[in-house]
Amino acid sequence: MDNALFKRLNSQEKEAFLNLFREKKIQKGQIIKQEKTNTENAFFLKEGELLVKKNTSDDMMEIATVSTEDVCFSITCLVDGGKSTTSVSAKKDSIILEITQKDFFAFCERNPETGVKILKNATIMLAKFLRKSDEKNAEMYKTLEEVL
């Protein structure tokens, strides 16, 4: 599994961290996480296909279908236990690897050097996402100004 969350981890650190994740079978149509609901877990897709949706003013909008195992879902919720910004369900029978906030922070306390690396990686991932979102918002605002 190749994900930015594992950067700067050696093979032993990566293996120890991945051992925290529990395999979970998800049936087609089953909701894994619901938008605007507090979530304390993060997960990777191991096998199958997931559907990511977001609420719009009209209805739910499909924003992505994910079938690769290198995508990490809910890293923000893993850290802060806050509300999910999207809904994720299984588009077909799938298997995910899931970690709880409790297990994650216990691991970080037992392995502080590895925990700091993982939290740094998560922070970098989130910073990139925020910058990209900010750029998109600026583009939308500029387009709106041009229209008005």
Token pair 């600026």: residue: 138
Token pair recorded at residue 133: 């979102």
55: left (phi over 0), alpha (psi -120 to 50) or beta: beta
Cα separation, 20 vs 104, in Å, equals: 7
Cα separation, 47 vs 17, in Å, equals: 19
Cα separation, 105 vs 134, in Å, equals: 30
| Tens-level pLDDT at each residue, the chain (148 residues) | 788 999 999 999 999 999 999 999 999 999 999 999 999 999 999 999 999 998 877 776 768 888 888 788 999 999 999 999 899 999 999 999 999 999 999 999 999 999 999 999 999 999 998 898 888 888 888 888 888 7
The domains of the chain, with CATH numbers, are 4-147 (2.60.120.10)
Strand bridging mode 31-33 / 87-100: antiparallel
